Structure 1
Amino acid sequence: MAPSAEQPLLTVEGLTKRFGARTACRDIGFSLWPGEVLGVVGESGSGKTTLLGCIAGHVTPTEGQVWYETREGDRIDLASLSEAERRRRLGNDMGFVHQNPRDGLRLDISAGGNIGEPLMRAGMRHYGTIRSLAAEWLGRVEIDAARIDENPRRFSGGMQQRLQIARNLVTKPRLVLMDEPTGGLDVSVQARLLDLVRQLVADLGLAVILVTHDLGVARLLAHRLMVMQDGRIVETGLTDQVLDDPHEPYTQLLVSSVLPI
């Protein structure tokens, strides 16, 4: 049975994560729809990165479920799968963009190899086709295809981040998790990267969970916003509504602490 556009791609129910006496996430619940970008904002320590880690499988939840609708129409609980089972069931259907691109790249192989490797994992074997697609994706993320054989260590931070995005998107996943994708970049580089990400998300119809502390980034990319404080969701709604007319005191403080967007 094929997945239905009328069903959420991802549904999180009662997600809780405790580290000893500290609760990093507490009873989190939400749904994410195909083609939707959900921004998760909050101060450092609010639980947003732990939440993303639980969905990605980097962190095991203490309680709760993370339901995912596969391409075949099966509804599986990601929180209950082993790492091997998760990889087998999802394959290249989920991407993860790290804040530090070096955490998401293979620095011992070329730029083209970084893009080609996920294609090989997906079963592609023809070298010419793989190389052609790698060159095409370098162009899509605004990297000169002539640099296909260069090592990514020679790239700037912004170029490494764009290469990491290409590596994640080349297999056309339906869900991409982004952890502070513009963090640590110069303002001018951030703006260029944000325009690129917004265009790729729209072109590919991606569902995205975007963790960011930058409300300007959230406004530009996210359709809907979820505000976290002390491991809880304190406010959620359409991005412009939350940022222009915040209802909760914490959200009001968060918005007023930055320059007008």
Structure 2
Amino acid sequence: MNTVPASHLPLLRVRGVSKRYGDRVALQDASFDLWPGEVLAVVGESGSGKSTLLDAIAARSRPDAGSVQFHVRGGGLQDVFAMTEAQQRLLSRTDWGFVHQNPADGLRMDVSAGANVGERLMGLGERHYGRVRATAADWLQRVEIDPARIDDTPRTFSGGMRQRLQIARNLVTQPRLVFMDEPTSGLDVSVQARLLDLLRQLTRQMQLAAIVVTHDLAVARLLAHRMVVMQQGRVVETGLTDQVLDDPQHAYTQLLVSSVLQP
């Protein structure tokens, strides 16, 4: 596993984030730091609060309490929820990416693959058609999609190809942080393996920080430097991935690990 680069400040600082839906506590007092170039896995069974946490820290849902700070370029740590909507949108188009579990939620299904990738570049002001198309073709190749399919729509792609296209769409603007919600869920095992290998290569090559929500501990072990284990909306254990999986301390983590290891 690659070494996390040293930095004086975390890239993301999450403190006391909580969220309720009526009487139900979906998230309670979640806190952690994420460092530049680090991949963090958030694990737990269905209903543990993983996706609620991801939506809160990605500013897709406002938490009821707590703070999320991001280290903006040249500006230090800034409270994401103190930003204007325009500032949040700019952040989501530049330094952040979001890979959905269902690729159709993160792609425009009726426009070409090239347009899906090029759209984020155009959102940042690139207007030269040739450069946009060349960059899109390059990124299709990087995520193992034949550039000859640049004019095909995602509807004609397999599930694995759609997910790789969604990754290209997110990474084309060279973000520093990508949120991933169950990125391999629903894919065949062989397709999952190729996608995980691609993600591991890209995060390492780009020194990309990522938060990966997954119920699959094998995905966490392969991709993540550190893990956050959630149960009933609370963070119950954190630590280096191998340490947590090989020597879990909390009873819930022990149950998760043993249930995976049992034949």
TM beyond 0.5: yes
In the alignment, structure 1 residue 236 sits paired with structure 2 residue 238: yes
> What letter is aligned with 2:143?
V
> What letter is aligned with 1:88?
L
1:13-47 alpha-carbon deviations (Å, 9 max, x no partner): 11011111111111111100000000000011100
Equivalent position of 1:133 in the other structure:
135
Identity %: 66
In the alignment, structure 1 residue 175 sits paired with structure 2 residue 177: yes
Cα distance in 2 for residues equivalent to 1:150 and 1:91: 23
Aligned residue for 2:261, secondary structure, equals: coil
CA contact (8 A) 1:42 1:229 kept: yes
> What letter is aligned with 1:118?
R
Aligned residue for 1:16, secondary structure, equals: strand
Spell out structure 1 runs of 4+ moving beyond 4 A.
none
Cα distance in 1 for residues equivalent to 2:12 and 2:262: 32
Q: Tell me how far 1:130 sits from its aligned partner.
A: 0.6
> What letter is aligned with 1:41?
V
1:90-149 alpha-carbon deviations (Å, 9 max, x no partner): 541100000000000011210000000000011111111110000000000000000000
Equivalent position of 1:12 in the other structure:
14
Equivalent position of 1:195 in the other structure:
197
1:185-231 alpha-carbon deviations (Å, 9 max, x no partner): 00000000000000000000001000000000000000000100011
Equivalent position of 1:70 in the other structure:
72
Equivalent position of 1:84 in the other structure:
86
Equivalent position of 2:144 in the other structure:
142
In the alignment, structure 1 residue 220 sits paired with structure 2 residue 227: no
Aligned residue for 1:6, secondary structure, equals: coil
Aligned residue for 2:32, secondary structure, equals: strand
Cα distance in 1 for residues equivalent to 2:99 and 2:90: 20
Q: Tell me how far 1:232 sits from its aligned partner.
A: 0.7
Equivalent position of 2:61 in the other structure:
59
CA contact (8 A) 1:68 1:77 kept: yes
Cα distance in 2 for residues equivalent to 1:95 and 1:115: 12
Q: Tell me how far 1:87 sits from its aligned partner.
A: 1.2
> What letter is aligned with 1:71?
R
Aligned residue for 2:260, secondary structure, equals: coil
Mapping 1:145-164, distance limit 5 Å: 145-164=147-166
2:41 to 23, 27, 39: 39
Q: Are residues 186 and 107 of structure 1, via their aligned partners in 2, closer, same or farther at CA, if it must alter by over 3 Å?
A: same
Normalization by structure 2: what TM-score?
0.95
Cα distance in 1 for residues equivalent to 2:143 and 2:191: 13
Cα distance in 2 for residues equivalent to 1:27 and 1:252: 22
Aligned residue for 2:62, secondary structure, equals: coil
Aligned residue for 1:95, secondary structure, equals: strand
